[in-house]
Chain A
Amino acid sequence: MTANDVTVDITALGTSMIDAARAALSDRGPALQAAAEMELRRMAGALADIWTLLAKGEIDPERAKALANIHRLSVRSVLRSVEGLGVLAADQTLQAVTGVAASVLNRIVGFKLL
């Protein structure tokens, strides 16, 4: 094998790793984005409802503050779960990329490194 062969191999490996990452993310990325957007739209609607109740005098400012606090806690909780889903997607992508790279890199270095 020559230096040029290694260069070609590394380039092909890079392409394979990118393909693996794309495949891993294609399932979760859009689904995660859609779920996050849907929940945040619902929560935006809830905040608008709280404001409407206050504007109509159906709740007093103290109750509006209490509801807004529950809203704030809920948004933080939802975003934390979304973040967790993002980390899971990243883990899955890393495992896919590592799997693709392992077979090639282990052969090049001559021992099982990955």
Chain B
Amino acid sequence: MSRRGKLTAILAAIVLALLSGCASRVAPRDEALADGLAGLQSSTGRFFDQLQLVIGTPDADWVSHAAWYEETRTEIAALRVRASASGVTNDATLDALALLDQSVAELETAHAEGLSAAEVPVLRTLFDSQLRMLVQLEAAKSRTPVAEVLP
């Protein structure tokens, strides 16, 4: 083998080794996180189903759903802790959860002021999309052996 050919091969190998060994920007698969997100998706779907049924009545008032907001805030906080435990900085799941948390806070503020029947489907679409993509992201992790996170 020529010296030039061998050098080319070594350089190519070094580049690939460096690339394959670099830290991933996505946290590895976490079953508890995936299950938690699926549960949150179901719970949020049921919340909007229920709200749609009772909208326009006193049962649609925020006070009747305060427990759901409390549980959801707690669940999102737990999922954020779980996601941050991976140690991946700028993790997509962690960032998306933070945005979901802010969205729930905004929803609660609007709900406390009163929601109309026409607003519920719009809000549902927005939360459905967020949660669907989060669940899809976690599902995709199970198909990809994510590289180990470097300290």
Contacts and interface: CB of A to CB of B under 8 A. Distances in A.
Q: Give the size range of B's interface with the partner.
A: 35 or more
Contacts of A69: 106
Contact of B17 (A35, A58, A114): A114
Given A43-B125, A49-B122, A81-B133, A70 B16 contact: no
B77 interface: no
Contacts of A10: 5, 8-9, 12
A63 interface: yes
Among B19, B95, B137, B140, find the residue whose CB has the most chain A CB atoms closer than 10 A.
B140
Main secondary structure of the interface of A (DSSP, over half): helix
A2 B113 CA distance: 79
Given A53-B118, A66-B109, A70-B123, A101 B134 contact: no
A79 B66 CA distance: 29
Contact of B95 (A49, A53, A80, A94): A80
Interface of A: 1-3, 5-7, 9-10, 13, 28, 35, 39, 42-43, 45-46, 49-50, 53, 58-59, 63, 66-67, 69-71, 73-74, 76-78, 80-85, 87-89, 91-92, 94-95, 97-98, 101-102, 105-106, 108-109, 113-114
Contacts of A50: 122
Given A63-B110, A70-B107, A77-B96, A53 B13 contact: no
